[in-house]
Amino acid sequence: MTLGLGIGWAKADQDPTRFLDGPIIGIGFHERLGKHTALVSESWLITGEGVEFGQQPFGLALRFFSDRLAVDLGVILVGNALSRGFPIPWLSFAFHFGP
């Protein structure tokens, strides 16, 4: 399990870009399912005034990996987007260039 803390910024319609009122807390975990597969979750808790629970992103993916390559395939679930009928696709690659 991992925890992170960050500062975010946002821009809404005609408003200027600004820092968010509160920190963003990142929570993740990685559970190995087999020799070359794992279940990965990354979620972000956006704090501050006016942030609704339906705006919180929750990511869930399957990771396929070898010695040098990892590929994540999954979805990012945001309640407000799901009410419109679709999750956000998640696809990422990581390659280890070192020895």
Percent of the chain with pLDDT over 90: 57
Per-residue confidence at 79, pLDDT binned at 50, 70, 90?
A: confident
| CA end-to-end span of the chain | 27
What is the reported pLDDT for 76?
93
Taking only the tens place, the pLDDT of each residue in 3-48 is 999 988 877 777 788 888 889 999 999 999 999 999 999 999 988 7
Lookup result for tokens 């260039």: 97
pLDDT of residue 21: 83
The residue among 86 and 31 whose pLDDT is bigger is 31
pTM: 0.75
Alpha-carbon span 39 to 26, nearest angstrom: 17
Confidence of residue 49 (pLDDT cuts 50, 70, 90): confident
Residues 6+ apart with CB under 8 A from 30: 38, 39, 40, 41, 63
Half-sphere exposure of 24 (CA within 13 A, CB side): 16
